[in-house]
């Protein structure tokens, strides 16, 4: 009798603990800061398993430059971006692992600009780490990326703020003060960290920077990248080879410095020597008719909606010419992508009108 009673109490205790932990995780997901970045990741988790043909991983150039709805509407290629601001290179391996847990893409695309960066500059502001760690579902892979990113921060003695490790593992300690955001039904809808994103990860920009012409340096001599970035790149390449994953490494068009241009030559050499394709879109600026006077919103580093349309159209044609990717436009299972393309068309028309008005002024 006493044994049965003890067993019942143990079961009740285990059930209560399980319910409490599930509720805590759901509350954590809801309290995470809302905005385009969160929408992009909850949108990724909402895509049906094994339905995305191309996954693009990279830093801030990705989300405003490659319009996934446009790419789908014009080519039928289903591509989803996993982009975060100033994405540290160490994160790309773990984002690839996260993507491959849910999808079996024919192609993975990695934006390479951040491999030219200096690590200490990126870990000085741990918001660039949290952009990755605090937008993943709780899992072993999330723990692994936290450990990897924190280990590098410690190695470079670079933490100036946000230094408590437990706030990364349990990010509710970071975001508990966001409780006021729970008045927003959208936040409640993210309780499972899965909510369709009508923009499919694309972040339209309508800004316009001070007019300036793009003039990239004619650098022909390679410059070594930082050791830690080369190690991270090689680790990613090894993982892709071990998993027989087709991958493309891409440079999004921007105004590069001579140092960046030299480092990018090194990155291209490493990628190609390991048997992967490399696409430098800076070499296609004239063909895309990218205009430094109208197509950027941030120091010729990130495209606005006008520039994104040009880059996406060119990239779509290039993918069609170089890869055998399915056209999903006549598949009823991709109705949400048809809706996303229709929405993009309307929003893009308004964005172009607004940008051209700023140009005229």
pLDDT at 20 over 90: no
**Band of the pLDDT at 75, cuts 50, 70, 90?**
very high
**Band of the pLDDT at 282, cuts 50, 70, 90?**
very high
Structural domains of the chain, ranges and CATH numbers in brackets: 50-162+199-360 (3.40.50.1110)
- What is the pLDDT at residue 248? 98
pLDDT at 116 over 70: yes
* Residue 155 CA from chain centroid, whole number: 25
Q: Which residues of 303-325 are buried (b: 16+ CB within 10 A; e: fewer)?
A: bbbbbbbbbbbbbbeebeeeeeb
In the chain, how long is the greatest CA-to-CA distance?
Answer: 85
Q: Can you name the residues that pair with 249 across neighbouring β-strands?
A: 110, 278
pLDDT at 1 over 70: no
Residue partners of 263: CB distance under 8 A and separation at least 6: 115, 116, 222, 223, 224, 225
**Band of the pLDDT at 3, cuts 50, 70, 90?**
low
Could you read off the pLDDT of 315-333 as tens digits, one per residue?
Answer: 999 999 999 999 999 999 9
Rounded to two decimals, what is the model's pTM?
Answer: 0.94
- What is the pLDDT at residue 12? 76
pLDDT at 2 over 80: no
pLDDT at 253 over 60: yes
CA atoms of 295 and 289, how far apart (whole Å): 10
Q: Can you name the residues that pair with 357 across neighbouring β-strands?
A: none
Q: Which two tokens stand for residue 270?
A: 């490493």
Which position has the higher pLDDT, 174 or 237? Answer: 237
């Amino acid at each position: 009798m006493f044994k049965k009673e003890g067993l019942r109490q143990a079961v009740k205790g285990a059930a209560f603990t399980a319910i409490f932990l599930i509720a805590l995780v759901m509350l954590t997901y809801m309290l995470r800061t809302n905005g385009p970045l969160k929408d992009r990741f909850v949108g990724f988790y909402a895509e049906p398993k094994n339905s995305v043909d191309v996954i693009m991983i990279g830093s801030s150039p990705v989300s405003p430059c490659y319009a996934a709805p446009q790419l789908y509407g014009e080519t039928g290629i289903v591509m989803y971006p996993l982009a975060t601001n100033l994405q540290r290179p160490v994160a790309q391996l773990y984002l690839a692992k996260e993507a491959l847990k849910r999808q079996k893409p024919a192609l993975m695309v990695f934006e390479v600009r951040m491999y030219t960066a200096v690590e200490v500059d990126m870990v000085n502001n741990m918001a660039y780490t949290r952009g990755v760690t605090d937008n993943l579902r709780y899992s072993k892979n999330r723990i692994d990326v936290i450990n990897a990113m924190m280990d590098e921060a410690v190695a470079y003695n670079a933490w100036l703020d946000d230094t408590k490790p437990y706030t990364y593992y349990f990010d509710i300690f970071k975001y508990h003060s966001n409780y006021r955001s729970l008045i927003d039904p959208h936040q409640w809808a993210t309780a499972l960290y899965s909510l369709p994103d009508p923009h499919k990860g694309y972040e339209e920009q309508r800004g316009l920077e001070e007019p300036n012409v793009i003039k990239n340096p004619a650098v022909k001599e390679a410059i070594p990248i930082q050791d830690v970035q080369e190690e991270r790149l090689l680790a990613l390449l090894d993982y892709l080879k071990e998993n027989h994953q087709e991958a493309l490494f891409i440079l999004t068009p921007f105004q590069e410095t001579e140092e960046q241009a030299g480092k990018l030559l090194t990155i291209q050499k490493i990628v190609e020597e390991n048997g992967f394709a490399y696409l430098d879109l800076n070499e296609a600026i004239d063909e895309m008719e990218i205009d430094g006077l109208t197509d950027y919103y941030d120091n010729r580093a990130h495209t606005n909606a006008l520039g994104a349309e040009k880059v996406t159209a060119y990239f779509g044609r290039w993918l069609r010419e170089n890869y055998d990717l399915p056209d999903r436009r006549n598949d009823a299972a991709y109705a949400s992508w048809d809706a996303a393309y229709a929405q993009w068309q309307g929003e893009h028309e308004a964005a172009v009108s607004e940008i051209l008005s700023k140009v005229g002024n």
